[in-house]
């Protein structure tokens, strides 16, 4: 598989937050089909996406891939945790959009990950003051989950859910934070779902006018 580029490393990052981009590593959620159009098929995909999303550097990614190959079952366990976390986050965000309470089992998944992440967080003194830093993460296979979990916790504790949207595309289901001034963003990306919707509307108009 080496040298083959993961589709997770090429996807658009349009969620506006790390945790939303992570949830968007599935295509066509609205189709409800099984299996999902999942971009994270294994641990390598998770690392490739993490580099693409800017939470691990190229050097760190190379180290994690190497470490993952030496410990395949540990790497696989991290990948499974990532998918469980992602699906829990998706259900929590959808619940927030519908102004419903999240399922407690999903919140438990998030809190379990938060506990694991925070164990690796330290307050570091610098010339400019203090800052939070992840420690000992160079070869920790699950280090990307720390940043994703932190992003989700920040969003859930301080975010504005009235700006959380699901793409209007027929099949898409990607989530994003609408930061437009007049809160009018409809699409994950205009060139993808926006144009597709325009083409569909145009075809429907053509069909109905040809019937006249």
Q: Segment contacting Zn ion (CB under 5 A): 10-18, 26-34, 119-127, 190-198? A: 190-198
Q: How many binding residues for Zn ion (CB under 5 A)?
A: 6
Q: Is 188 in the site for Zn ion (CB under 5 A)?
A: yes
SS3 content of the chain, % helix, strand, coil (to 5): 55, 10, 35
User: CB of 189: closest distance to Zn ion in angstroms?
Assistant: 6
172 binds Zn ion (CB under 5 A): yes
| 15 touches Zn ion by CB under 5 A | no
Region binding Zn ion by CB under 5 A among candidate stretches 45-53, 103-111, 169-177, 197-205: 169-177
- Does position 8 bind Zn ion by CB under 5 A? no
Q: Report in angstroms the alpha-carbon separations of 169 from 108, 132, 185, 208.
A: 31, 38, 12, 22
- DSSP string for 47-104: HHHHHHTTSS-HHHHHHHHHHHHHSHHHHHHHHHHHHHHHHHHHHHHHHHHTT-PPPH
Of positions 78, 85, 88, 167, contacts Zn ion by CB under 5 A: 167
169 belongs to the binding site for Zn ion (CB under 5 A): yes
Among the residue ranges 11-19, 35-43, 123-131, 159-167, the one whose residues contact Zn ion (CB under 5 A): 159-167
- The contacts of residue 130 (CB under 8 Å, 6+ apart) are 123, 124
The single-letter DSSP state of residue 177 is E
175 contacts Zn ion (rule: CB under 5 A): no
Q: Binding of Zn ion at residue 26 (CB under 5 A)?
A: no
State phi, psi for 3 to the nearest 5 degrees.
Answer: 90, -20
Pairing assessment for the beta strands 121-126 and 129-134 based on DSSP bridges = antiparallel
Give Cα 199 to chain centroid, integer Å: 28
Interface stretch with Zn ion, choices 22-30, 125-133, 154-162, 166-174 (CB under 5 A): 166-174
- Least spacing, CB of residue 180 vs Zn ion, in Å: 15
Which residues sit at the interface with Zn ion, rule CB under 5 A? 167, 169, 172, 174, 188, 193
């Amino acid at each position: 598989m080496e040298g083959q580029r993961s589709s997770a490393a090429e996807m658009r990052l349009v969620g506006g937050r790390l945790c939303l981009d992570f949830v968007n590593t599935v295509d066509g959620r609205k189709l409800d089909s099984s299996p999902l159009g999942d971009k994270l098929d294994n641990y390598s995909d998770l690392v490739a996406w993490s580099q693409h999303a800017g939470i691990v550097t190229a050097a760190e990614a190379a180290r994690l891939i190497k470490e993952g190959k030496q410990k395949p079952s540990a790497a696989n366990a991290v990948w499974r945790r990532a998918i469980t976390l992602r699906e829990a986050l998706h259900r929590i965000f959808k619940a927030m959009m519908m102004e419903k309470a999240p399922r407690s089992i999903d919140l438990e998944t998030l809190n379990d990950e938060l506990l694991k992440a925070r164990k690796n967080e330290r307050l570091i003194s610098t010339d400019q003051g203090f800052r939070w830093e992840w420690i000992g993460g160079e070869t920790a296979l699950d280090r990307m989950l720390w940043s994703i979990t932190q992003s989700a916790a920040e969003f859930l504790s301080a975010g504005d859910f009235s700006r959380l949207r699901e793409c209007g595309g027929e099949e898409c289901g990607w989530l994003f934070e609408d930061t437009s001034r007049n809160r009018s963003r409809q699409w994950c990306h205009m060139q993808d779902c926006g144009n597709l919707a325009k083409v569909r509307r145009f075809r429907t108009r053509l069909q109905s006018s040809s019937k006249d």
